[in-house]
Structure 1
């Protein structure tokens, strides 16, 4: 069997994260390194060279020194993914300070907790709303000395304040930053309970980036071209920070897009035209659904679905060939694929700028079906795995041996094993230093040098890791059946009408689900239905049709699991879960405990509506739930 070549070793880190910027500026000062749009509607991007970025960073660093920011002190950045975030972060690392990222739309109590728990001496916010949020909790933050507002010209003021500080002072501070010094205190997403601050070192953050650049960096662009990446996921999450470091350390041009709505992101992709794309599964799912919706609106829905199925079959055949289990696509499949390349796939790639050939997905597992689709249209998606406590990614698909449906193999220098109960354990240089101010939680997570991730999965005979869910998310029904909800939820979301899904059922007679609908696709679906008649009759027929459609989605999801694990009851909720409502984390993960608390009444009603009049024992309970319930909430 063909073995993948081990990626070359990354050079050892000798200083801090800021050093790579200064080294690039000294080596290739004219290299475009960062890009921004002066206006969200603009098609033109302003490129900033490595030397220009370095000079801005030095000016800001002098201002931080003049403001009394000392090495080892913590400064929070509470802003969207914008140019100033990157410049400010590197300025803070240049003076040896520690960055504390905060999601800009965080609730008041979350902001207060992070600033107090981390002991921040300063915080940088975007706008007046941020100033008001921080101002409302200042009385409880004795360490906080500065609140700087980006939209009020804070960076220009800092630069002006630092003019009396000699530039060599910045170099002196930067050169004494050690690789094992803390660079970032990143707070966990808080899917359950209060967020914990993970202390991440310069070495921990740089190591995975350097390994990836050494082994996979050449895939970011065609030979002879500079790679480019559009950054749009939050820098408040370790995944976004990893992409930022990858670009600066690898000399890739990084564009900043602070808005994550579909229209703005689509415009940014078309105008910036990245060579490499990164995302989370929900973004790729949304892109797929937008492709389908656009095709249906153009009267080409059936053509798209045939092309999508051909793409998946073609990619699966390619995978069998590279893994040595099959001959590859046959003649008929190659001909069909070539036809759809001219009529469908090229246009789909154009929607992402036209230059993307590879992508990375993280945050949660990507479905094999979606992975094969994107590979089949010409964009291979490397599904990787990592978490805040590992400073980002710890696995990657080996080049030439990629296997969809898995998150690849452990990066060189990192070890992964699976405990007897299915929990994934990680050991390596990128594992965090510990939770800030919580020694007990640190001891619980770090066991004999191994990080207990809380994730469940399995390793196959070749070392590929598959993620099956979160340990704390496992549902145990009243009949004693254990169910990992991730796979069911993933399959439900593949239906174009389904936006989000939360599987429930702890101490219940069967598995149930709360479902939200994709607002854009729902509008399109209703228009395509084109029902006639008066309003009441039309609404009734529409609701019946919608009920049947969602029931089909549930049936498809159930086809992948055993009867006892299948969804027997469900509710369609009137609105999606969002960050503002506290039901999603900033990294777009479900806050399950909060969702269950918020919809406790609806969950109780869902099960009560399907109860039987006669008393049943646990042994025969499943027979009482043969038909999925499908009541809609309004």
Structure 2
């Protein structure tokens, strides 16, 4: 390693525990306090810490009665919901292994995961998920019962639990230790076939206890609340689930993204977690609501002031007096309206999973809602670095959590070491040996770390574009900038071994129509019409030109095509965690790329996909 940095710990961390211990200790510390909230008939219902502990224990007893042994794999195929969390903690409590499966997975994907993990029992959310599983049952040799959550699965398992004694449960619980496997989490597959990451009780325990030390304001002081709408099949959501028991978080569970604004305002979280796209959409929605008249001009001036305020703050300075007066005015007239979207208690936001455009970060920081960027992987059991409210350096992804080491390899690859590193990839010892050497996880990401431990992420090795002229281009920053446009849904930069850099752009039809109406233009009915709309084309061209100002001529996007389609997980072009599948997209649009964007010499361009 040409550079290394290790964050110190305030006190030692005991990792030889069962993750169920966090559920039990939360009930001991705050038995009557709310630990889980969930939507029931449109309103928030809740469990106290003591009530939730009793549910987990009863479910664990039921699993014992069903013959689930230590090391057995039990899968959950469901959206985020309280039953997911209760079953997860019950499975791990008795030394069994939770295998999360994205609810968007196809029957073939489910079959592959259940076979690879040798799953014996499955909890499916509804009949649709059960039917997918049953359609491939004959091809899964280890599969036994399938229980449907919406058909009373938890009630059934609790009934079985009546035949198991407390002593039997405690015996199983005490037999599960820190070095035992807790879960196999399958990566979402943005760069290839999903791999099963083996994570132990110790991996999660260390990272949770490190997080409590590193950022107590988020999760380890009274009256903290998190609205979690990420899928629990994703390791970040899973980490936050477990962290809530280890700390003081009141965990609100929701999976209906269409009600997220109402949920923010009724649940009133203190901590917000979301991918950058969510904050881009909030910004764009605010801009569209302002329109193009006086209110629109006021909003634009308020945006400029917020960014100026943030940039000055980042330099340890203050705006001149006139700027501070304007900032106070905008705080009352503009910023307060946007902050109200996040509820009355919102303290700060944590974001990651994709590059964040710095101008969006400066805007939210300037209005009083810092977006703290973080970084983690499935292989690290969750986030391993994040900015803090008091030391938020925009443009970085923060500092390592307590006890976490970062290294920068000779080729600028980011490497990570610590107790939270997974024990390997399930049934893939060769890949494990290649990815984890001498305790260092090789992430595949490129970056640098400064003397204060702030990590700068510059790109991904596999995404790095090398043009025909030999120019190295990291596409993430350009893509993030283009996606700040109110009409753009996704942007994929291409150009590997090509004469110049180009981009494929998809649109969000609803957002595009709202923007068109705000501009005084007529809405369109389809993505096909939107992709050929001259006003929309002009807006995308503006966004591309703006993105190009941050890079050199050789790295800039020379040509773009607006697609009449969307990238989705259903059509195989997005992962379940909404990352673009670069190779799959380039293959799907190969004809367009080869004959329209990169027109062969002497030939006219042709339309087509």
For residue 556 of structure 2, what is the aligned residue in structure 1? 566
For residue 475 of structure 1, what is the aligned residue in structure 2? 465
Superposed CA offset, 1:217-256 (max 9, x none): 22459x7x41010010011011111111121111211011
1:243 aligns with 2:240: yes
For residue 169 of structure 1, what is the aligned residue in structure 2? 168
Superposed CA offset, 1:545-578 (max 9, x none): 2222211111111111111111112110112211
Query: Is the 1:572–1:632 Cα contact (8 Å) retained in structure 2?
Result: no
In the alignment, the residues of structure 2 paired with residue 258 and residue 141 of structure 1 have an alpha-carbon distance, to the nearest angstrom, of 29
For residue 193 of structure 1, what is the aligned residue in structure 2? 192
For residue 149 of structure 2, what is the aligned residue in structure 1? 150
For residue 495 of structure 1, what is the aligned residue in structure 2? 485
Equivalent position SS for 2:257: coil
Moved over 4 A (4+): 539-542, 631-634
**CA RMSD, Structure 1 to Structure 2 (Å):** 2.3
What is the CA-CA distance between 1:304 and the residue it aligns to?
Answer: 1.8
Query: Is the 2:512–2:536 Cα contact (8 Å) retained in structure 1?
Result: no
For residue 259 of structure 1, what is the aligned residue in structure 2? 256
Any stretches of 5+ residues in structure 2 without a counterpart?
Answer: 1-6
In the alignment, the residues of structure 2 paired with residue 379 and residue 51 of structure 1 have an alpha-carbon distance, to the nearest angstrom, of 34
For residue 3 of structure 2, what is the aligned residue in structure 1? none
In the alignment, the residues of structure 2 paired with residue 463 and residue 531 of structure 1 have an alpha-carbon distance, to the nearest angstrom, of 49
What is the CA-CA distance between 1:298 and the residue it aligns to?
Answer: 8.9
In the alignment, the residues of structure 1 paired with residue 142 and residue 36 of structure 2 have an alpha-carbon distance, to the nearest angstrom, of 33
Query: Is the 1:569–1:606 Cα contact (8 Å) retained in structure 2?
Result: no
Query: Is the 1:220–1:358 Cα contact (8 Å) retained in structure 2?
Result: no
1:376 aligns with 2:375: no
Superposed CA offset, 1:436-476 (max 9, x none): 00011001101222111001111234321111121101112
What is the CA-CA distance between 1:201 and the residue it aligns to?
Answer: 1.0
Any stretches of 5+ residues in structure 1 without a counterpart?
Answer: 322-326, 615-628
For residue 70 of structure 1, what is the aligned residue in structure 2? 69
What is the CA-CA distance between 1:293 and the residue it aligns to?
Answer: 2.0
In the alignment, the residues of structure 2 paired with residue 12 and residue 354 of structure 1 have an alpha-carbon distance, to the nearest angstrom, of 36
Q: Evaluate the alpha carbon distance shift between residue 35 and residue 299 of structure 1 in structure 2; reply closer, same or farther with a 3 A threshold.
A: farther
For residue 299 of structure 2, what is the aligned residue in structure 1? 304
1:551 aligns with 2:516: no
1:281 aligns with 2:280: no
Q: Evaluate the alpha carbon distance shift between residue 523 and residue 86 of structure 1 in structure 2; reply closer, same or farther with a 3 A threshold.
A: same
1:13 aligns with 2:10: no
Equivalent position SS for 1:385: strand
Matches within 5 A, 1:208-223: 208-219=207-218
Scaled by the length of structure 2, the TM-score of the pair is 0.94
Superposed CA offset, 1:261-305 (max 9, x none): 3xx111111111111111111222222222222222896222222
What is the CA-CA distance between 1:542 and the residue it aligns to?
Answer: 7.8
Query: Is the 1:416–1:426 Cα contact (8 Å) retained in structure 2?
Result: yes
Counterpart of 2:510 (choices 520, 523, 526) is 520
Query: Is the 1:365–1:383 Cα contact (8 Å) retained in structure 2?
Result: no
Superposed CA offset, 1:57-88 (max 9, x none): 11111110111111111111111111111111
Query: Is the 1:349–1:355 Cα contact (8 Å) retained in structure 2?
Result: no
In the alignment, the residues of structure 2 paired with residue 405 and residue 529 of structure 1 have an alpha-carbon distance, to the nearest angstrom, of 32
Query: Is the 1:10–1:210 Cα contact (8 Å) retained in structure 2?
Result: no
What is the CA-CA distance between 1:25 and the residue it aligns to?
Answer: 1.1
Query: Is the 2:126–2:151 Cα contact (8 Å) retained in structure 1?
Result: yes
Query: Is the 2:38–2:44 Cα contact (8 Å) retained in structure 1?
Result: yes
Q: Evaluate the alpha carbon distance shift between residue 81 and residue 563 of structure 1 in structure 2; reply closer, same or farther with a 3 A threshold.
A: same
Higher relative CO (Cα under 8 Å, sequence separation at least 6) belongs to: 2
For residue 204 of structure 1, what is the aligned residue in structure 2? 203
Q: Evaluate the alpha carbon distance shift between residue 344 and residue 220 of structure 1 in structure 2; reply closer, same or farther with a 3 A threshold.
A: farther
Scaled by the length of structure 1, the TM-score of the pair is 0.90
Query: Is the 1:426–1:452 Cα contact (8 Å) retained in structure 2?
Result: yes
In the alignment, the residues of structure 1 paired with residue 607 and residue 282 of structure 2 have an alpha-carbon distance, to the nearest angstrom, of 27
1:401 aligns with 2:403: no
Matches within 5 A, 1:355-394: 355-394=345-384
Q: Evaluate the alpha carbon distance shift between residue 541 and residue 600 of structure 1 in structure 2; reply closer, same or farther with a 3 A threshold.
A: closer
Q: Evaluate the alpha carbon distance shift between residue 440 and residue 552 of structure 1 in structure 2; reply closer, same or farther with a 3 A threshold.
A: same
Equivalent position SS for 1:371: helix
